[in-house]
């Protein structure tokens, strides 16, 4: 009888034979899928250099930093509002029905540009009064001319001449009153329908008018709100202990959540005279010119007062700092893949940014993300 070896023994022998002939296919595949070892680093004092393609470089972000005025205190939250001196809320001067609208929300308008046309009986009456008083004045003027001729000829007494002159003077007063009433309602010299016009250059930031609806001076909301988007204000609620740093006319730095890499300069317009008893804060208004219109109404911002005549300092994100005790360092990119750790002195530090008194020049390329990784690499060699 022939004995057959167990299947397990046959399998082991087969694996040994295949292994002698070369690598097992699945073992070879596993070796090929194994990630390569991290590229080596070299150090020299406070310098690090990574070979091209080093895995560590994927966790390092570098960006240039620039000098900016250093604030006196940490930036405070603020909200952007319209400048009341550059904003107009337009209502219907008399009751009427809107028959035409010429602008939409967001439309840029010029001073005097038509916004809407109203059919208003009271306005039509005001226009008619101008015409009526003008006709009356012309008639009384002609009467005065005839009375003057007759008076000079000795036909009429002095009292008739005086009465005619009085009538003309009263007619002129009525003409002036009617024209003033018409002008108050927004009418031009030529009369016509009641047209609401933009009183200043700006943008339609709000529109509550619709064709066919009734409008009156007592409406709770204005028909249009026109505001100049190139001049805005920021409202800052300043803690009582920091209000002395905000001086009317003083310069402030404005950081926007929408543009984190940009800083705008404004000036303090007013400082409130009353401290809120609940929050112990004082309202401060800041004026800012925005010719490029990047700042929008309702945006959130942060405002910090600047020292008068202060020297600009290099501004870096807080994530760029490596601090140990009272010492601080920043990694500067010398070349692609090569970094140098430099000691810096922090003049002012906030939650998101720090201003350096020395250590790196304006325009340097700084590691803003991954600085702790570079520090660990430096300490490990």
The predicted-structure confidence for 69-88, as pLDDT tens digits, reads as follows 788 888 899 999 999 999 99
Q: Please give the C-alpha separations between residue 329 and each of 68, 311, 376, in angstroms, as whole numbers.
A: 19, 21, 13
User: Is residue 22 included in any domain, yes or no?
Assistant: no
Q: Are residues 345 and 355 in the same domain?
A: yes
DSSP-assigned beta bridge partners for residue 68: 313
Dist CA 351 CA 354 (whole Å):
8
Would 23 be classed as within a structural domain? no
Query: With 0-12 CB in 10 A as exposed, 13-18 as middle and 19+ as buried, what is 288?
Result: buried
Has residue 1 been placed in a domain?
no
Strands 41-44, 47-50: parallel, antiparallel or unpaired by DSSP? Answer: antiparallel
pLDDT for 276: 92
Q: Which residues of the chain have pLDDT under 50?
A: 1-5, 7-13, 15-37
Instruction: Check which CATH number belongs to the domain holding 327 and give it.
Output: 2.40.420.20
CA 363 – CA 64 distance, rounded (Å):
6
Residue 175 to residue 179: CA distance in whole angstroms: 6
Counted domains in the chain: 3
**CB of 220 within 8 A of CB of 280?**
no
What is the structure's pLDDT at 29? 42
Q: Is 349 a domain residue?
A: yes
Last residue of a domain, one of 226, 256, 284: 226
Per the structure block, which two tokens stand in for 56?
């560590």
**What would the DSSP string read from start to end of 92-121?**
-SS-EEEEEE---TT-EE-TT-EEEEEE-H
Alpha-carbon gap, residue 178 to 123, rounded angstroms: 11
98 and 184 belong to one structural domain: yes
| Residue labelled with tokens 């984190």 | 260
My answer on whether 111 and 158 are in the same domain is yes
Same structural domain, 112 and 139? yes
Whole-number pLDDT of residue 16 = 45
Write the Ramachandran bin of 309: left for phi over 0, alpha for psi from -120 to 50, otherwise beta.
Answer: left
H or E stretch including 162?
helix 158-184
Residue 294 lies in a domain: yes
Identify whether residues 292 and 324 lie together within a single domain: no
Distance CA(109)–CA(289), nearest Å, equals 19
In a 13 Å sphere around the CA of 193, the CA atoms on its Cβ side amount to 15
Helix (H) or strand (E) holding 161: helix 158-184
Summarised one tens digit per residue, pLDDT across range 178-188 is 888 888 776 55
Asked if residue 92 and residue 198 are part of one domain, the reply reads yes
Is residue 7, in this structure, part of any structural domain at all?
Answer: no
How far is 77 from 80, CA to CA, in rounded Å?
10
Same domain, 103 and 219: yes
Looking at 226, 247, 280, the residue that finishes a domain is: 226
Distance, CA of 298 to CA of 292 (rounded, Å): 17
Question: According to the model, what pLDDT value does residue 190 have?
Answer: 54
Are residue 203 and residue 98 in the same domain, yes or no?
Answer: yes
Residues 289 and 324 in one domain: no
């Amino acid at each position: 009888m022939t004995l057959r070896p167990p299947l397990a023994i046959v399998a082991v022998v087969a694996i040994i034979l295949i292994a002698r002939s070369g690598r097992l296919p699945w073992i070879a595949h596993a070796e090929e899928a194994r990630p390569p070892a991290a590229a080596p680093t070299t150090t020299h004092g406070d310098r690090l250099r990574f070979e091209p393609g080093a895995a560590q470089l994927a966790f390092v972000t570098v960006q240039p930093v620039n000098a900016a005025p250093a604030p006196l205190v940490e930036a405070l939250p603020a909200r952007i509002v319209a400048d009341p001196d550059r904003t107009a809320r337009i209502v219907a001067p008399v009751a009427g029905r809107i028959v035409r609208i010429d602008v939409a929300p967001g439309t840029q308008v010029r001073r005097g540009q038509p916004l809407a046309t109203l059919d208003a009986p009271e306005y039509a009456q005001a226009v008619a009064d101008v015409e009526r008083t003008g006709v009356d004045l012309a008639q009384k003027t002609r009467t005065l001319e005839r009375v003057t001729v007759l008076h000079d000829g000795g036909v009429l007494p002095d009292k008739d001449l005086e009465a005619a002159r009085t009538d003309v003077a009263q007619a002129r007063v009525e003409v002036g009153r009617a024209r003033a009433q018409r002008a108050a309602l927004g009418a031009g010299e030529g009369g016509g329908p009641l047209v609401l016009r933009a009183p200043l250059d700006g943008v339609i930031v709000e529109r509550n008018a619709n064709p066919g609806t009734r409008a009156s001076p007592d409406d709770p909301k204005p028909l249009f709100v026109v505001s100049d988007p190139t001049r805005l204000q920021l409202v800052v609620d300043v803690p009582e202990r920091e209000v002395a740093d905000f001086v009317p006319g003083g310069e402030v730095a404005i950081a926007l959540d929408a543009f984190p890499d940009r800083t705008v300069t404004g000036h303090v317009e007013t400082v409130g005279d009353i401290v809120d008893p609940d929050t112990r804060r004082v309202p401060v208004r800041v004026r800012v010119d925005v010719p490029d219109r990047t700042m929008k109404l309702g945006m959130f911002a942060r405002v910090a007062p600047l020292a008068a005549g202060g020297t600009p300092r290099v501004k870096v994100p807080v994530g760029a700092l490596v601090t140990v005790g009272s010492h601080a360092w920043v990694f500067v990119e010398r070349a692609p893949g090569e970094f140098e750790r430099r000691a810096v002195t922090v003049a002012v530090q906030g939650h998101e940014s720090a201003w350096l008194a020395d250590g790196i020049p304006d325009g340097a390329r700084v590691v803003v993300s991954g600085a702790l990784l570079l520090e660990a690499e430096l300490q490990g060699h």
